[in-house]
Structure 1
């Protein structure tokens, strides 16, 4: 199972939001590239980066910071936030991004997601962000009437690499991952699922790793790392023992 340390970008700084609220941002650093390197030195081979400003604007807003991260981090970078057209997808892959996360467009323009997944085999991740079981979009600012499982199933034959499932009511709040909902989604579709939202310690990593065979590919963690509640090296070691 993969552990993805998260770097969320707002105004060029490393931040974490509480429940996706841009007005509830905690700043953890002003040098995203240095943070990426620190994660690499702790053993991370994968990194999850989100352009928060871009998620709300619908286009890149932290390009310089992302480019610096790509230069500093020797592993695989997964990037999301406002990536909603083919030119943006192609541009980021050209710069060295390993996987692109598409969120709002998965609901509003599924044909775009299918085309990108076909053009970039193994490179497209669909973000399935949930609040009370329904899909949230536009940087989590809008709630749709589409159930999470229904959206996920639309892409089962599209060739997407993974689904990134986030319970936004838990994200950044250290409440613990919504294990039941995450595993239920993984069992309901034939696409690997990455868990996100609420990781508070090693127990979340352990519980998720028990369900690797159910389709849990990995887990994203942010605030727990920055607050010192989760040791990245220990999390990587535990996840590495998952079947």
Structure 2
């Protein structure tokens, strides 16, 4: 299982973002320093979130992605944030991204998404934030079909992976989302990345269990940067 750190970038700096757009905590002014540490501790793939692009609805940190690929050519980059068209995707790929994560807005535009996947499916990761009752046995209004039908269609269209979050009815994403991602990964023939749910060392230890053996990867972010564990600990935990 691959450990995938998530790095939020805003105004050229690595930050923690909060629900309120005005709230953020700067991790480090120079993202290259953050990436250097992650690579030293074993990072193979990183998700870069362009926070400014979410607000401005256009790619913003293109030069950073190009610089990252120049400085760390062995590192695979998946980009997310405000991706709303095939043009956005191509811009990111041209800048050096290995994959672009699409969700929200594009998932509701099925005709456009289908055209994108026909051309660029292997460079696309589909981000899914789904409530439990929908993915387990329900109909997904956003895409006009059942969850299982949707996943099968994405597989046929050649997507690179699914980045999956189970949204709880109450509270924050937690270990239940990890379990759900593991369950999904064992039931479909597509790489699944568990997104969210790793908050502590205990969560890391749980990932060595058989329920998670089919997961392609798991993302880690804020708790790691706040000192709950290091990225090196994540890599070590997933290696066992």
Residue 239 of structure 2 is matched in structure 1 by: 240
In the other structure, the counterpart of 2:4 is 4
Alignment partner, residue 91 of structure 1? 91
- Bigger Cα Rg: 2
1:31 match: 30
Structure 1 residue 153 displacement after superposition? 4.6
Matched residue of 1:178: which SS?
helix
Residue 59 of structure 1 aligns to a residue in which SS? coil
Aligned residue for 1:84, secondary structure, equals: coil
Give the distance between the partners of 1:43 and 1:217, measured in 2 at CA: 16
CA distance in 2, matches of 1:110, 1:100: 17
By percentage of residues, which structure has more strand? 1
The answer to whether the 8 Å contact 1:8/1:52 transfers is: yes
1:54 is paired with a residue of what secondary structure?
helix
Which has the larger share of helix?
2
Name the TM-score, length of structure 2 as normaliser. 0.80
Distance 1:32 1:166 in 2: 26
Map of 2:155 onto structure 1? 156
Q: Conserved in 1, the CA contact under 8 Å of 2:126 and 2:163?
A: yes
Aligned residues: 229
Q: CA deviation at 1:36?
A: 1.2
Note the alpha carbon deviations across 1:133-171, whole angstroms, 9 max, x for none: 669xxxxxxxx954993654542321111111134679x
TM-score (norm 1): 0.79
**1:6 Cα deviation from its structure 2 partner:** 1.1
Alignment of 1:74-153 (within 5 A): 74=73, 75-120=75-120, 122-130=122-130, 145-146=141-142, 149=147, 151-153=150-152
1:177–1:56: structure 2 CA closer, same or farther, 3 Å change rule? farther
Q: Provide the rounded CA distance (Å) in 2 between the counterparts of 1:52 and 1:29.
A: 15
Q: Comparing 66-75 with 8-17, which one deviates more in the overlay? A: 66-75
Change in CA separation of 1:47 and 1:237 when aligned onto 2, cut-off 3 Å: same
1:5-34 CA-partner distances (Å, limit 9, x unpaired): 11111222212234x543443221221122
CA deviations 1:183-230 (Å, max 9, x no partner) are 3333453322111123113332333343344x3110111112211111
Other structure's SS at 1:122 match: helix
Q: Which runs of 5+ in 1 are unaligned?
A: 136-143
Q: Distance in 1 between matches of 2:203 and 2:113?
A: 30
Any unmatched runs of 5+ in structure 2? none
Residue 57 of structure 1 is matched in structure 2 by 56
Partner of 2:13: 13
Return the offset for 1:174.
8.6
Task: Sort the Cα spacing of 1:198 and 1:15 in 2 relative to 1 into closer, same or farther, 3 A.
Answer: farther
Q: Tell me, yes or no, if the aligned pair for 1:134 and 1:145 is still in contact at 8 Å.
A: no
Deviations 1:104-139 (A, max 9, x none): 24422233333333323532100012356669xxxx
